[in-house]
Every structure is written in C-alpha cells, then in structure tokens.
Amino acid sequence: MTIKLTIDGIEIPANQGEKLIDVAADHGIYIPRLCYTRGKPCLGTCRVCSVKVNGNIMPSCTVTVRKDMDVIVHSEPEVVDMRKSLVEFLFSEGNHNCPSCEKSGRCELQSTGYEVDMMVSRFPYRFTPRKVDHASKPIWLERDRCIFCQRCVTFIRDKESGQKIFSIKGRGTKSRIEIDVELANKMSPEQAREASNICPVGCIIDKTQGYDKVIGARKFDIKSIKDRALERSK
C-alpha cells in the first residue's frame, strides 16, 4: 500500500513497511549512517541516522514509515548538529589517524565525517591506549579504530558452527572488540575480505589486502559515501 509522509516539509510517497532511512534515500535525501546496511537487520548502535519524527528524535534505521509521518532531516539545524555531534563522539572516543590508516579512502567513518562537515571534535579527545591484536592469520585487529557498531559481531559467523568470530568484552566505556583466533584462522579469504569490507572503520583489516590501491583512487575518493548511498537506491 502506498502512503504519504512529509520529510522536511516535502510530501513523499512510500510503501508501508519500508524503513525511513531507505525511503529518504530513494527520494534523494541522504541520512548518514555507520551501522546500518540496506537490506540487513538494523543494529541501532551508532545513532548517526537520528532524525526527528513527529517531534521525537529517533534513529531513522529503526523507524518504519507510516501515513502522515512528519520527518525532519535537514530543516532544523539542531537535528543536523546532533548527527554531527554523534560522529564527533566517535572520533574523540577512539584513536582515528586517517593519514596513517590503511582504510583511508574507503573508511565509512572518515567519509561520513566529511559529509557532516566535521572539522574537529567538540568533545575532548581521549587518546585511550588500546591494544592491537595481530594473532589471527587473516585479520589485523586495530582496536584503536573500533566504533562498536556490532556489524562484525552480528554478521560474520563461523560458516560451520554459526559461532561468533568477533565479540565484545566488558561493558560501557571499558568495552573492547575481541577476535576468536581459532575461528578466525578457519575463515576463507572471501570471508576475511567480507569482514574487512563491512567494518565501517579500519579496525578489521584483511592482511592480504593492504595498500592494494593508492589513496586518492579509492572507493570514497572517487565517489562520496553520500552519492553511493543515494545511487544504490535508484
């Protein structure tokens, strides 16, 4: 059934049951996101796709469109700034050094930083020491860059047993990403590549992939994350 909703004052048709974040993209309205992937279950961890729905702030990846929904994405500066703040939080919480990171140019956090016009984080940088883990054969685990999106935890499982290869240890600000070396060593090259590709930052690096393309000619260097998100939905 087709319904109508309003985004930033413009009436938009949509199919009932669709996710707001996808409907917006289909109509050329890009909402930044770092944990959501179209077609996959929503994780709701990064909150970067937050918008205002009927007066309440909510992540648009969790919202199913409804008739007469009134959505604000860009028309209120506070809402735009909230999304920017959330991206800034991620930069100040971890240790993100784009110039020395293998993921530069294909990093979703980096390119989202550009999209939300971030210059520097308004929050104090923590510089928390985090241990790297290079023990597994296929993966470099650079914990400095983890944003706890849970994509790897949820979507990358051991093919045989369905067990988690990646997991979170501890809670709150002491959380850290773990890799099960035994299971990781059983990963096929394709699965290791997949894990590296779904990581929105340079935390999971495929050891066979390093610097295969020069920075400047990479995915988001050629076409921005925004254009890609909008293109995919056309």
Interface contacts to another protein, rule CB under 8 A: 42-47, 50, 57, 59, 62, 64, 82, 85-86, 89-90, 92-93, 123-124, 126, 147-148, 150, 158, 161-165, 167-175, 178-180, 183
Report, in Å, the least distance between residue 218 CB and another protein.
Answer: 25
Report, in Å, the least distance between residue 12 CB and another protein.
Answer: 21
Nearer to another protein, 102 or 179 (CB): 179
Report, in Å, the least distance between residue 212 CB and another protein.
Answer: 29
If one counts every other C-beta atom within 10 angstroms of the C-beta of residue 233, the result is 16
Q: DSSP assignment, residue 19?
A: B
Nearer to another protein, 149 or 229 (CB): 149
Report, in Å, the least distance between residue 61 CB and another protein.
Answer: 9
Distance CA 73, CA 14 (A): 16
Residue 26 CA, chain-centre distance (Å), reads 19
Largest CA distance in the chain: 53
CA angle 220, 223, 224 (to 5 degrees): 65
Nearer to another protein, 7 or 79 (CB): 79
Distance CA 98, CA 199 (A): 15
